[in-house]
Amino acid sequence: MLRSSAYLVDVITVCARCEHVLSTPETGRAYADGVSRERAREVFDEIAADCLVRDGVDLGRIFSATGLRVRGKAFAFPIAEGLLAKLPEDRVTQLEAEGRGERMVMRGRAMREWILVDNRDLDLWPDVIEEALAFVDGITP
């Protein structure tokens, strides 16, 4: 299983999305929806294992966290609240409109192409990660 001991605390501070977190990263207690941090990380690790066999995909540092990259460019990583992924702006807008994600806000600024998909939507993670990989692969030289 892929692990990074400090990925949660640093990223939560950077992206300032803590209002949904009902337990500290260290406790591993269940969130309101019953999805634990550990279960969400297990789901991410399973998806990551499938991605890592592809050319140019690796794990690396992203916003003081560990996440998936293609040719050195970040496309998806887990935080305590869910999954952050880089998608085309129109897809981010669509997911937001459907209530399946929130545009990432960093230092008070909404990021055009980054979406937070909550732990409650683990079923969406595989598709979002696949879309993020395809998107970033397509725009990365």
Helix or strand run (H / E) with residue 13: helix 7-15
Averaged pLDDT score across all residues of the chain = 81
55 pLDDT above the threshold of 80: yes
What pLDDT is stored for residue 22 in this prediction?
33
What pLDDT is stored for residue 37 in this prediction?
84
What pLDDT is stored for residue 62 in this prediction?
87
CB-neighbour burial class of residue 91 (10 A; exposed 0-12, middle 13-18, buried 19+): middle
More confident residue, 38 or 86: 86
What is the pairing mode between strands 82-86 and 57-62?
unpaired
Query: How many Å apart are CA 60 and CA 75, to the nearest integer?
Result: 11
More confident residue, 18 or 58: 58
Do residues 89 and 95 touch, judged by C-beta distance below 8 A?
no
Tokens for 52, please give them. 């890592």
What is the spatial order of strands in the sheet that 57-62 belongs to? Answer: 57-62, 65-70, 73-79, 82-86, 109-118, 102-106
Q: What value does the mean pLDDT take over residues 55-59?
A: 97
pLDDT band at 26 (very low <50, low <70, confident <90, very high): very low
Do residues 35 and 51 touch, judged by C-beta distance below 8 A?
no
What pLDDT is stored for residue 63 in this prediction?
76
Domains of the chain plus CATH, in order, are: 7-139 (3.90.1150)
User: What's the whole-model pTM score?
Assistant: 0.76
